[in-house]
Amino acid sequence: MGFCLFGIAALFFAAFPAIWARYPKKHPVNHELLRYGDLKEVSARLDREMHGSVEEIGPFRFTASLLVYDSGHEFQLVPYDQIARAEIDRPESDEPAAVVVQTRSGRRYQWYRTWLQGKFDPERVVAKIRAAARLDMPAEENR
């Protein structure tokens, strides 16, 4: 019985690469890139910017116009011009502080400073996001 369960689990996990090979737009990275336009255009933009000047703070990459979060098992991309808010969420419990980013369309990203999501200084990350997204500027200058 245990061997059958193991076999079923192996088939289940092996199905994902087969699905992604057949339907590339379903791959999590491609799905994330498609949020911001044509896959080829966004991919080319990301490639160009990653070959340029990039500042790294833990799993975060700060390019000229994109915030890239890549913890190794998760990939997220947010153009700075889409960021409406960036702050630190400090729960009162023993949970670690989290970096919270909200886009103009209402999408919310939350990244914790853990060994699984990456070690980083939340204050430094939020300050860098706010500067790159120009969130501290008056509204009429921030366009």
80 within domain boundaries: yes
Among candidate residues 56, 138, 128, the one with its CA nearest the CA of residue 86: 128
* CA gap 13, 126 in Å, rounded: 36
Instruction: Dig out the tokens for 27 from the structure.
Output: 């791959």
Q: Is 112 exposed, middle or buried (0-12, 13-18, 19+ CB in 10 A)?
A: middle
Would residue 28 count as lying in a domain?
A: no
Has residue 95 been placed in a domain?
A: yes
Residue 104 forms part of a structural domain: yes
Task: Count how many domains the chain has.
Answer: 1
pLDDT tens, 85-121?
A: 999 988 777 777 899 999 999 999 999 888 878 889 9
Find the CATH number of the domain harbouring 75. 2.30.29.30
Q: State pLDDT tens for residues 46-65.
A: 999 999 999 999 999 999 99
Host domain of residue 102:
53-143
* Residue 142, in any domain of the structure: yes
Residue 11 lies in a domain: no
In a domain, 59, yes or no: yes
